Amino acid sequence: GAGVSQSPRYKVAKRGQDVALRCDPISGHVSLFWYQQALGQGPEFLTYFQNEAQLDKSGLPSDRFFAERPEGSVSTLKIQRTQQEDSAVYLCASSFVRPTRDSNSPLHFGNGTRLTVT
């Protein structure tokens, strides 16, 4: 079966360029998450969608980061005016049910997009 698909796998951008990273979650998964993983670190939460609604964007590091999921399936993470500190692997994950305090559905991760800003 198809898992979470992310594209592109690698992206090299010159400082100041805008980039767009795509995530195709598992079909039927309600929840979608974006994480940023710096080299040698654990994934850090960026933002969360339940269907098309962005319910938590507390992890976005600056207003240069923007995410959307207009039809409740595919999501795009956009980074404007990229900086060298944006270099990282960007991971997308999806889960079947919406996460509540009493409901925990496993997150299924894609293989990520490795962004290098030169």
Partner 1 sequence: GENVEQHPSTLSVQEGDSAVIKCTYSDSASNYFPWYKQELGKGPQLIIDIRSNVGEKKDQRIAVTLNKTAKHFSLHITETQPEDSAVYFCAAKRSKLIFGTGTRLQVFP
If one asks whether residue 111 binds partner 1 (CB under 8 A), the answer comes out as yes
- Residue identified by tokens 């969608």 is 49
User: Binder to partner 1 among 21, 77, 79, 93 (CB under 8 A)?
Assistant: 93
- Phi, psi at residue 85, to the nearest 5°? -70, -10
If the CB atoms of residues 37 and 83 are measured against partner 1, the closer one turns out to be: 37
If one asks whether residue 44 binds partner 1 (CB under 8 A), the answer comes out as yes
- Only one of the segments 14-22, 33-41, 62-70, 78-86 lies at the binding site for partner 1 (rule: CB under 8 A); that segment is 33-41
Quick one: the chain helix, strand, coil %, rounded to 5? 5, 50, 50
If one asks whether residue 110 binds partner 1 (CB under 8 A), the answer comes out as yes
Between strands 10-13 and 113-117, the pairing is: parallel
- Only one of the segments 22-30, 62-70, 74-82, 110-118 lies at the binding site for partner 1 (rule: CB under 8 A); that segment is 110-118
If one asks whether residue 40 binds partner 1 (CB under 8 A), the answer comes out as yes
If one asks whether residue 7 binds partner 1 (CB under 8 A), the answer comes out as no
Between strands 31-37 and 88-95, the pairing is: antiparallel
Between strands 88-95 and 108-109, the pairing is: antiparallel
Measured distance CA(19)–CA(22) in Å, rounded: 10
The residues that touch partner 1, with contacts defined as CB under 8 A, are: 4, 33, 40-45, 48, 56, 91, 93, 99, 101-102, 104, 106-112
